[in-house]
Amino acid sequence: MGATAIQYRGYINRADFKKKVTVEEWTRLAPYFCACQELQKNVAVRINGLYTIKPSAVKKEIDRNFSIGQQALFRYQRSNYDLTKPFSFGRIEAYTPSSQALCQKIPVQLLQQLPIMTSEKHLLQICRNYIKQRYGSGKELSGVANSGYFEFLRVLLYRLSNNLFHFEQVNDLLDNITKFGYRSSLKALLSLDVLSIKMAAENILPILVWRQDEELIDLIYRTQARSDTSAAWYKIFSCLAGSSPNVWKSGSGVHIFFPVQTYHRGMALDNAPQGLGNENKIPDAVIFISDLIVKYKMNARTAEDAAILLHLALKYTVIEVSILKTLLPPLPPDILDRAYKSIYEKSVLQIQGKMDLSVRLDLGFRKNLHFIMLQAILRNDAEAFQTLLPHSNLNGRAYDGVGESVWDDFNGGGFIWDRLWMVDFNVVVTMALQEIRDDSSAISTGQENFDSSCLFRIAYQLQNTHLREFLLIHCRTYNSKESVITLLTSALWVMVARYDERGALYQGIECSLCKSFTPGKPPTDETTWKDRTEWCEWLIKNGADVSSRIPLDIRERLDISSDLVLHSLIGKRGWWDTAHLILRLKVDVNALDSNEKTPLDILVNIRSTECCADRRKFLEHLLQLGGRITIKSGWGLVNLDAGFEKALRESNIDFLVETWTRRWVRIPPPVVVTGMVIENDDVDPICLELVSWIKSPPKETDREKRIEAFIALLKSSGLRSSTLSVVSDGHNDLRQKIMSLDLAGGQLKQLKRPWGRLQTLNTLQLLVIVAEPELLRAAFSFGGPEALIQLQQEQPPSRLSPLHYMVGKGDFECLRVLLENGANPRVLWSRHSPLLFDRGQDRNNGLELVYEYTLLHHAIQRGDMNTARCLIEYGAFVPSRNESKGYIDGKSCTAEEWLEWKRKISPTFSISVVQLAVKFGRLDFLALLLHVDIDSRDEARAAAIEYKRSTILDWIDHHWMRKPRPDPPQMLDRTEPEQRLILPIENDLVNPDLFNIPGIL
């Protein structure tokens, strides 16, 4: 009031007062609006967080500013916006009203095209033929589709084609089928030329090989095998020899029978099935597989298949060398050797088998030749050395003027080392280190690198100081100063260790070198300990770092008591001179080791009466350098008795130990309330009711009354922002056990940690633990905004959200309630879960969890079609397409090249849901994803090539490639009841005499 026109115009023109959306802002909003409209969702617009434009007005403005053609272009562009979240820019915020669920129903017509549904007519025909055969032509055939036998075939085909079974289940099923006379129906089923049958045949084939069922194997090979897929079939035949029934029967829940990961881990034929074998100790399965390979002439077409074929010939010689040469592919020996080592972790020459070393050399294999020659030299194997010599870099060299004839009269006396020149041994060692790719910047004990400290250990066992000096010169010549120090320090750790010839000192390639050497004897007497002391002093004088800490894995492997060398030496016989040498190097005499002890702590706690004079000298040396004892503040005090100095002057070590007294101050453990701790004074009755429900679930007769009472309580009190701190009963039991023990000091400090593991849960998290759909619906209906706030609240990485818990539990109804009320289906899966969420934890199942592992990944991995379908309907499936896909450095490329490039630049590159379905052979999941988004077919085809899924690759090429983009599927009328696909996995089956197999259904 009283303002002039200019003043009023300036007031209403302020940025926070404008109510008109500009054309530029409508242009940015249009793609988001069209994407929501395609899912039949309305869009509202909020300006400056104050003024709201209704959905009807937004639609009117979009239609006024953009033509139908422009809107169609926006829809075709398929915006990558997350439609479950508001779209904000500048002063504009576009969102969908929370009362509407973001859901796109999958049409029943589309679901009917899944492979399991297209196979029904063939299953019906098998049922009709069986009924006619058993009951004659007069039997009524109209009810075949509703029979238990037909339902069983649907479940069996679905499980077999999607890898959803255990070995023991199918093995028992095959026994029952033969027992009750259903074998003809199984043969008819495996003879069908249907995609689901092809996948089922590939999955069941390893079990048939293990059972040695040649009839069914021959049927599958004749009807299902193709010339271009023989390599994949060959791999299945051969991989079975490296598996064990104990592996197949292990695990719980849905078990992937033959995952891709085991192809590189379980290939050792030593793991033969128990109970199989003959007088030559060759497993029957290996002989059976070898006969099949020869019978069907399964040529190895890839390097991996050739490696498996080589292993059959090397390990058991069940395939003759002449036949082996005809089955091997025309690849260079180094490529075959590389593939062999990637699977069996050793080269062809290194593997211990029945094929002579000379035969392997004649086949052209040379990998790790000088490394094996070094083994032969150090273990004095003259026969192997003479076999390798003509093919090594020592070929043609003269020895003492008589040429190679110096080895002809070698009868095993002495060592090969004595007949080699220094320069020749240098050549062998240098070539051996080069072959195993020694990293000069660090000493590794992994599978690919070589720990040269094992040579110092072998030189010590040989008591060959000449070899020791040569190794030092060799290391200083070919390595940097830091690498030499690291090498000598590693060798010192080995000398300090308490080991014998049976100990596993090394891991990786050098382990075979150490274990293959036999002349050395374990140090058991004082003389041997003294010899080792001299070697340790030599290592220290030449640069070994005595102050560096020993890593935990090396300490466990070498059985070292402490992570510091000085602490490890105290108390050992004959080590006092070495310990004094370390003290003269000005090391920290009060350094705490991994046990939080100083050298003085360890020394005065030695109860033995041996070597009292040596202990006294070392104790005096420690005290002169300022050695101290530890004082554990807060947990206990350790003091010296008044007679300690007197005992020290009298050199009475035994009395010195007795005067070392302790006065422990006991600290009571922290008080932890078990069960429920209310953070606020105002107790939320909703939380109390839910906790009571969890502790004592209602009976079925009282369930309805209790639900009504809870809804009435929710209406009266509402949903508040309350939390409870709870601790599991298991941790409470642990606390009680710890309190009953008489512990003090460090033990009590270590065991007190689990007491405080409290978990804070809000009301919605308690509701999902109860897992009652009616209670969840009531919470969202009468809980007000607080229910949505708790649903959309981001959880820390150590916890699961309510949506995670429902997906992990497999509760379909509660999951749908959460999604209908705005839960984000694209949230990533977590590795961890709270204490009360044990049933929702991910079992991993061989899949590496990376940063883009979503709920849809988890559902596909578990084989839960209902959960996957529900997540897809609410927008969980986002095709992994972006601007960089298809282009590398601005140049176009194929999908296979792009995937390979992406993995090279990003080691943690996650696998998409399409690739996961292909990797696990989940045919129906892949078909569902491709029906929803046909543009993912290139990605699926590239994954099929990468994971060697030849049947899936052929199916994609035949049914999906080179086809125009289909029209968007016609949506179901929402006024009608939802038409839900009943998958065979949900049906109850009959005929218990035949199908009495635990867990098959």
* pLDDT score for 104: 62
* pLDDT score for 226: 54
For the CA atoms of the chain, what is the radius of gyration?
A: 37
| pLDDT tens track for 153-194 | 778 888 888 877 777 778 888 888 877 777 888 888 888 877
Mean per-residue pLDDT, 618-641: 56
Mean per-residue pLDDT, 118-139: 74
Mean per-residue pLDDT, 611-618: 71
Mean per-residue pLDDT, 872-895: 55
- Map out the domains of the chain as residue ranges: 16-100, 166-365, 677-878
Q: By C-alpha distance, which of 775, 859, 875, 763 is closest to 817?
A: 775
| pLDDT tens track for 813-861 | 888 888 887 777 777 665 433 322 222 233 333 333 333 567 888 888 8
* pLDDT score for 273: 35
* Parallel, antiparallel or unpaired: strands 677-678 and 44-47: unpaired
308-322, 540-554, 679-693: segment of lowest average pLDDT: 679-693
Q: Are 298 and 225 in contact (CB under 8 A)?
A: no
Q: How confident is the model at residue 783 (pLDDT cuts 50, 70, 90)?
A: confident
Residues 6 or more apart whose Cβ sits within 8 Å of residue 781: none
Q: How confident is the model at residue 437 (pLDDT cuts 50, 70, 90)?
A: low
Which tokens belong to 714? Answer: 């929710």
| pLDDT tens track for 303-316 | 877 887 888 788 77
* pLDDT score for 239: 52
* pLDDT score for 105: 67
Q: By C-alpha distance, which of 835, 770, 778 is closest to 806?
A: 770
Tell me the C-alpha distance between 809 and 812, whole Å. 9
Q: Are 382 and 413 in contact (CB under 8 A)?
A: no
Question: For residue 827, what is the DSSP state?
Answer: P
* pLDDT score for 292: 78
Largest Cα–Cα separation, the chain: 124
* pLDDT score for 464: 65
Where does 761-907 have alpha helices with state H? Answer: 763-770, 773-782, 785-792, 802-809, 812-820, 855-862, 865-873, 895-905
End-to-end CA distance of the chain: 79
Where does 659-759 have alpha helices with state H? Answer: 685-695, 703-717, 729-740, 745-751
* pLDDT score for 612: 67
331-335, 636-640, 837-841, 905-909: segment of lowest average pLDDT: 837-841
Task: 632-640: list long-range contacts, CB under 8 Å, 24+ apart.
Answer: 632/745, 632/746, 634/667, 635/664, 635/665, 635/667, 635/744, 635/745, 635/746, 635/748, 635/749, 636/662, 636/663, 636/664, 636/665, 636/744, 636/745, 637/662, 637/663, 637/664, 637/665, 638/662, 638/663, 639/663
Q: What's the one-letter identity of residue 440?
A: S
| pLDDT tens track for 894-918 | 555 655 655 555 444 457 888 888 8
Q: By C-alpha distance, which of 917, 957, 964 is closest to 937?
A: 957
Q: How confident is the model at residue 421 (pLDDT cuts 50, 70, 90)?
A: low
Mean per-residue pLDDT, 997-1001: 31
- Does position 952 have pLDDT exceeding 80, yes or no? yes
* pLDDT score for 408: 55
263 against 116, higher pLDDT: 116
Q: Which of 356-360, 394-398, 706-710 has the highest mean pLDDT?
A: 356-360
Q: Which of 138-152, 749-763, 875-889 has the highest mean pLDDT?
A: 138-152
* pLDDT score for 13: 53
Mean per-residue pLDDT, 360-384: 80
- Does position 548 have pLDDT exceeding 70, yes or no? yes
323 against 850, higher pLDDT: 323
* pLDDT score for 223: 79
* pLDDT score for 661: 41
- Does position 59 have pLDDT exceeding 70, yes or no? yes
Mean per-residue pLDDT, 423-439: 66
80 against 436, higher pLDDT: 80
- Does position 85 have pLDDT exceeding 60, yes or no? yes
* pLDDT score for 489: 80
Tell me the C-alpha distance between 404 and 384, whole Å. 15
- Does position 349 have pLDDT exceeding 80, yes or no? yes
* pLDDT score for 665: 35
Average model confidence (pLDDT) across the chain: 66
* pLDDT score for 716: 77
CB atoms within 10 A of CB 839: 11
* pLDDT score for 824: 77
* pLDDT score for 845: 33
- Does position 673 have pLDDT exceeding 60, yes or no? no
- Does position 29 have pLDDT exceeding 80, yes or no? yes
420 against 58, higher pLDDT: 58
Q: What percent of the chain has pLDDT over 90?
A: 0
Which tokens belong to 940? Answer: 């699926």
189-198, 205-214, 456-465, 932-941: segment of lowest average pLDDT: 456-465
* pLDDT score for 527: 40
Tallying the residues shown for the chain, one arrives at: 1001
Q: What angle do CA 275, 313, 262 make, to 5 degrees?
A: 60
- Does position 117 have pLDDT exceeding 60, yes or no? yes
* pLDDT score for 376: 76
* pLDDT score for 500: 41
| pLDDT tens track for 100-113 | 555 666 777 777 77
Tell me the C-alpha distance between 626 and 207, whole Å. 71
- Does position 416 have pLDDT exceeding 50, yes or no? yes
Tell me the C-alpha distance between 184 and 177, whole Å. 9
* pLDDT score for 761: 73
Tell me the C-alpha distance between 770 and 697, whole Å. 8
Mean per-residue pLDDT, 35-64: 83
Q: Are 647 and 655 in contact (CB under 8 A)?
A: yes
- Does position 764 have pLDDT exceeding 70, yes or no? yes
189-203, 387-401, 812-826: segment of lowest average pLDDT: 387-401
718 against 433, higher pLDDT: 718
Which tokens belong to 578? Answer: 């070495």
* pLDDT score for 79: 60
pTM of the model: 0.46
- Does position 731 have pLDDT exceeding 60, yes or no? no
- Does position 388 have pLDDT exceeding 80, yes or no? yes
- Chain-centroid distance of CA 527 in Å reads 49
